[in-house]
A and B are shown apart, each in its own frame.
Chain A
Amino acid sequence: MATNHEPDVPANHNENRRTFLKQSSLLTALALVPGPVVSAAEAKLDERVAEAIEQIPLSLKVNGKKLKLKVEPRTTLLDLLRENLHLTGTKKGCDYGQCGACTVHVDGQRVNSCLSFAVMHDGQEITTIEGLAEGDKLHPMQEAFVKHDGFQCGYCTPGQIMSAVACVREGHAGSETEIREYMSGNICRCGAYSNIVAAIQDVKSGGQKV
């Protein structure tokens, strides 16, 4: 039987992997802002502080383009792509490394871009779904996804395709079972799995360069 009472627990309802942000020196700096609350934004103070201590220089190559950026250290690679670089093809499905919607290639390896901070990738080369086709010519994996209808809503699709390309390149597309195993980090809630596997097998057996 349930007992509906609540012992005292801390009001901690957010993910703890960000708790360290609490201790950020910025907070301390701002705590010193005197009394009657002018919002920090209005005072333009935050922008000045940010300029000085919040932003870190970062060089990245994204889809072949060299970028020199300044980013907050707490910005994830995923949020950098989506919110700052407006490369929204890379999707956010969980933000915890559990769904694969945010899969990109970093120096040729597939990674969940929500699981790392952008500043950890200084000097690295990022490929997103937007960088996969050559101009108007779709990548063979993109072609195969269209042909086999490897999606429905399309939200997991960029992640599935980036993962699928890596899966073939890694040599993990040898059989249906192997593909299913090595693609299991990419959830498709629409359930287009059968068609995704068919698309990967098609590319793998087609012998095109992926």
Chain B
Amino acid sequence: MNAPEKKIGAPMNRVDGRQKVTGAAKYSAEYELPNMAYAVLVGSTVTKGRLSSIDTKDAERAPGVLAVITHLNAPKAPGVKPTGKDPSQPQTVGSALQVFMDDKIRFNDQPIAVVVANTLERARFAARLVRAQYAKEKHQTNLEANKANAFLPTQAKKNPKSPAADYQRGEVDAYKTGALKLEAEYVIPTEVHHPMELQAITAHWEAPDRLTLYDKTQGTMATRRDFARQWGLPEENVKVIATYVGGAFGNALHSWPHESAAIIAAKVVNRPVKLMLTREQMFTMVGYRPHTWQKIGMSATADGKITAITHESIGQTSTYEEFVEATLGQTKMMYQSPNLTTRYRLAALDVGSPIWMRGPGEATGAFALESAMDEMAFLLNIDPMEFRLRNYTDQDPEKNRPWSSKFLKECYQAGAQRVGWNKRQLKPGSLRDGEWFIGYGMGVGTFGAHRGSSKASAQLLPDGTVLLQSAVTDIGPGTGTAMTQIAADTLGLPPEKIRFEWGNSDFAQAPTQGGSAIVNTVGPAVQEVCMALKDKLRELAATSNGAFATAKKEDVSFADNHLTLAGNSTARATYADLVRQAGGKAVTVESKPSGEGQKFSMYSFSVHFAEVRVHELTGEVRVSKLISCADAGTIINEKTAGNQMKGGAVGGIGMALMEHAIIDDRFGRYVTKDLADYHVPVHADSPAIEVFFVNQPDPYVNQLGTKGIGEIATIGVAPAIANAVFNATGKRVRELPITPDKLV
């Protein structure tokens, strides 16, 4: 028999494609449970202060209303501690902000009540009838005005080795004495994840001590842990189901107040309760990429060697949580600069907490760093790619150790050739096509190739299919498909014979989907459990057929309804027998990173090349070409991985040209309330994006050779576009988004 075709690397269609194109895929607000009730949140209309009174009478009397819950009558979850005491403590774990705990208002639209009714319309109507009076206090929502109060994050104070701590190599602020230097400030506004699926949860107390949540979360285990803790329940009494997640991009990496509210509501009315946020509420209470100010100082020699970089950043956080991200990470390791200083600070404002948004801090930081690289290259009159090559790092200058793998130069070449970099002129404004200026720009991205521990389980079913399970979620990258491919190759089975199930906290333990780490982490667990299953089946087969006892697991293969052994045509063990012998038990393994990785710096790398057209009169910017090149290790599925890269690039177009959540500081309230005010890229904003993968395995991250794609797909895109706009027009925009008013 021929070895089956390798599935790893193949552009296989998604295993859940049919579900998604027929509408059969069920997201968290789409489960039908008997006696469902609907919950609608009422938010504070002030930004800071106390609730002096709340009148719920009219709402309670409204038709169909089952309960109106506020801090005055909410049952207290036993595991909840008063919040706001130590904002440095909770981050993704723990629900930092409970609802209905006290009368304190910490941000505008903070939930002050939840109305539960037997239909959605009735709940929505009654929610309008809740009236509150407030004792208002002066609030602060403006980052610029609060920069002077910025502080070093507590984690950095406690631990000078924390990535958020000040970093120094060589001399402090050495750029100041450089002969050729630049100093520039960069700002990104608040950006909101806005996945197409609104945040939603269906909470169901199946018994007084058993809770089931159909929830939009990136981590079923983390959500289970948070709410088990909140309600003082053993973890196994809480079940979290997130089979389909309608995008998240980071905003489901945290447990949020609306989830607590739905759980409380379900407890009070003793029925399953469904709660879906509105698009306005998506701005205020489920995180965002924080408004961030940055300053870069850089010096270089005339022949294009960087001598020093100082990179400072102040990011917005809330008053009740210290949200920290790796804004300055890329600066520390991307370019060979003997002197390097970074300072990361936070400014606490009266707003909801931020949360990592795709590419997170690294994307914010890369906007500043990669813009500054372009500015310096211009100052030196050197091609920006050439400038980057002159400062290329062959080993990690931050940790002084080798890269586990780095094929960034290959990416530069591939991208430059595809975008037509040779057409680029050093002098801005040189190229035009009628009324349109044309420009080219590039931006580099990097993100740690993280790998954690994960379990996976596998079981042979009587029909000869193998059932694999993992608690991991698939928020869109195609995790289920990639895992099926890995299993298919390991088992030597066609993918149709493999059923990978995910998104349920009862399944084998797996980490939260985020930080580009899932294939790195769960992939090896799937591979190892498949090998363990083969070995287990061989052992079981050996009890009836001696040939299996001494066979190697590699020689075991699957036929129609039985196992066979390579080189032994008579050895066979039927599935029916094996399944009976296994007694319905699955094989479970845990896969952990080896210590080997400690010797290396492990990163994925990307470079994005943009061609833009800028209208000379209107300042309209069109991205006419976008080429994204990645060194992400082995590519498990070219089709889904390519799609993920393109999607990240589209996110970068949004970041560069349109995304901007605006607060009116007089009220502390967002004036961008929906997708008509907050623009995200639509079909017409996106060119046909081209993707190139180096597709070279990394020898150290894991045995599959993967490094991760999710973040590097976005990191570096916004500066590539900003740099292209400069090349087209000579206008340097240092404050995103690049809207036409900044160009005319």
Contact = CB atoms under 8 A, between A and B. Distances in A.
A98 interface: yes
A83 B120 contact: yes
Contact of A101 (B13, B142, B196): B196
Nearest to A182: B683
B682 A187 contact: yes
A152 B476 contact: yes
A120 interface: no
A2 B142 contact: yes
Contacts of B644: 152
B196 A149 contact: no
A180 interface: yes
A194 interface: yes
A26 B119 CA distance: 15
B60 A37 contact: yes
A2 B666 contact: yes
Contacts of A183: 683
A191 B18 contact: no
A181 B684 contact: yes
Contacts of A149: 13-14, 17, 639-640, 642-643
Contacts of A88: 23, 26-27, 29-30
B145 interface: yes
Interface string B91-114: 000000000000000000100000
Contacts of A39: 60-61, 65-66
Nearest to A177: B684
A11 B132 contact: yes
Interface in A78-115: 79, 82-83, 86-96, 98-99, 101
A132 B24 CA distance: 12
A169 interface: no
Contact of A158 (B23, B249, B276, B642): B23
Given A6-B666, A33-B61, A180-B686, A95 B278 contact: yes
Contacts of A179: 683
B63 A50 contact: yes
B279 A94 contact: yes
Contact of B47 (A6, A30, A101): A6
A89 B23 contact: yes
Interface residues of B, number: 96
B13 A192 contact: no
A2 to B, nearest CB: 3
Given A6-B667, A79-B120, A95-B278, A145 B196 contact: no
B716 interface: no
A95 B145 contact: no
A194 B20 contact: no
B50 interface: no
B196 A191 contact: no
Interface in A16-61: 18, 21-22, 24, 26-27, 30, 33, 37, 39-41, 45-47, 49-50, 54
Contact of B676 (A98, A146, A156): A98
B666 A3 contact: yes
Given A4-B666, A94-B674, A41 B16 contact: no
Nearest to B646: A194
Contacts of B688: 176, 194, 197
B247 A152 contact: yes
Interface string B20-52: 111111110110100000000001011100000
Interface of B is mostly: loop
A146 B13 contact: yes
A79 B681 CA distance: 26
Contacts of A128: 23
B172 interface: no
B188 interface: no
A183 B409 CA distance: 37
Contacts of A89: 22-24
B158 interface: no
Contact of A26 (B63, B138, B667, B680): B63
Given A74-B121, A91-B197, A146-B14, A154 B650 contact: no
Nearest to A143: B21
A22 to B, nearest CB: 7
Given A6-B46, A30-B61, A41-B66, A193 B650 contact: yes
Contacts of A37: 57, 60-61
Contact of B683 (A26, A130, A186): A186
A170 B142 CA distance: 48
Nearest to A142: B21
- Please give me the 3 A-B residue pairs with the lowest Cβ-Cβ distance, nearest first: A89-B23, A191-B650, A155-B246
16 contacts: A2-B145, A11-B132, A30-B61, A37-B60, A47-B63, A91-B27, A92-B29, A96-B676, A99-B675, A152-B247, A155-B244, A176-B688, A191-B651, A191-B686, A195-B643, A197-B683
Interface of B: 13-14, 16-27, 29-30, 32, 43, 45-47, 57, 60-66, 109, 117-122, 124-125, 127-128, 131-132, 136, 138-142, 144-145, 194-198, 244-249, 276, 278-280, 475-478, 639-640, 642-644, 646-651, 665-668, 674-676, 680-684, 686-689
Interface of A: 1-7, 9, 11, 13-15, 18, 21-22, 24, 26-27, 30, 33, 37, 39-41, 45-47, 49-50, 54, 72, 74-75, 79, 82-83, 86-96, 98-99, 101, 128-130, 132-133, 138, 142, 145-147, 149, 151-158, 161, 176, 179-181, 183-197
